[in-house]
Amino acid sequence: MRKKTSRCPCVRYNNSYFCNVTKLARDSSKNSITITFDVHGDMSMGVLQHWRHSKLLDDVVHRGQLASTECKIRTNDKNYCYEGDMVFLFDRSTTIEMPLSFRYGRSGYSTEIIKAEVPRLQIKEKKKKEEVKPLYANIDELLTAARLQKEAEKLKEANVTIESLLRIEDDKLSDFLKNLGLKTGHAAKLKRFVLSAKKHAEDSSST
């Protein structure tokens, strides 16, 4: 029978029944923590307690706990040894403090702190993307920014909106504005402001 080692955490029922923890790993993509373990006994108190009753606890005061959900067993001998990788799943709203404590089996085993390289594991719900306001809410704001309020009547007579201007292809925008009766200089100036509003909208959608 393998003896407990001082090189890794060990939870004990007594000197004959104990569990070594040799590795702790986390996989954020699967919201899981995996404990690599080997638990041993000598049948002096019967068969080993089952791994599925084991718990991971967050910090010393045990404010929260995770139950093992599956195990990839390499040695499956209930009389003398279980060995494998125990998986603990958690949802994305769970916050887990490091270090973690581990308790093997249903009852009677000690609780041992499992140190890890990461100082803190914190999984939270992803925040919803905040809605970004357009650079100009309407055609009046656009014309005011460009100091072309006098051209408002021409655009409104043609039912031009800020949304319709943003949909016009860049190389066709100047001709469109000139066809509304804007002077060449005013059309060029307004085009610059429309292109600026387009860029703002594109940058906002990509963040």
Q: Answer yes or no: pTM beyond 0.95.
A: no
For the chain, the domain total comes to 2
For residue 192, the enclosing domain spans: 139-201
Kindly state whether residues 93 and 144 are assigned to the same domain.
no
Here the contacts of 14-17 (C-beta below 8 Å, separation 24 or greater) are: 14/45, 16/41, 16/42, 16/44, 16/45, 17/41, 17/42, 17/45, 17/48, 17/109
- What pLDDT was estimated at residue 123? 34
Kindly state whether residues 31 and 70 are assigned to the same domain.
yes
- What pLDDT was estimated at residue 93? 59
Q: What confidence tens digit (pLDDT) does each residue in 20-76 have? A: 988 888 777 777 888 889 999 999 999 999 988 888 876 544 455 677 678 889 999
1-27: average pLDDT:
76
3 falls within a domain: no
48 falls within a domain: yes
DSSP conformational letter for 179:
H
Asked if the model's pLDDT at residue 6 lies above 60, the reply is no
Kindly state whether residues 112 and 61 are assigned to the same domain.
yes
CATH number for 36: 2.60.40
Tell me which of 56 and 186 has the higher pLDDT: 186
Lowest-pLDDT range of 12-21, 86-95, 144-153: 86-95
Domain boundary among 79, 94, 122: 122
Provide the H-helix boundaries in the chain: 139-145, 152-157, 162-167, 170-179, 184-206
CATH number for 184: 1.10.150
Q: Distance of CA 95 to CAs 24, 26, 111, Å? A: 17, 14, 20
In the chain, the percentage of residues whose pLDDT exceeds 70 is 77
What average pLDDT does the chain have? Answer: 79
Kindly state whether residues 149 and 113 are assigned to the same domain.
no
110 falls within a domain: yes
129-154: average pLDDT:
82
Kindly state whether residues 173 and 86 are assigned to the same domain.
no
User: Could you tell me whether strands 100-103 and 65-77 are parallel, antiparallel, or unpaired per DSSP bridges?
Assistant: unpaired
Q: What confidence tens digit (pLDDT) does each residue in 87-129 have? A: 887 766 566 666 778 889 989 999 888 765 433 333 333 344 4
Kindly state whether residues 22 and 100 are assigned to the same domain.
yes
- What pLDDT was estimated at residue 26? 78
Q: What are 35's strand-pairing partners?
A: 24, 86
State the maximum Cα–Cα separation within the chain, in Å, rounded to a whole number: 99
- What pLDDT was estimated at residue 127? 44
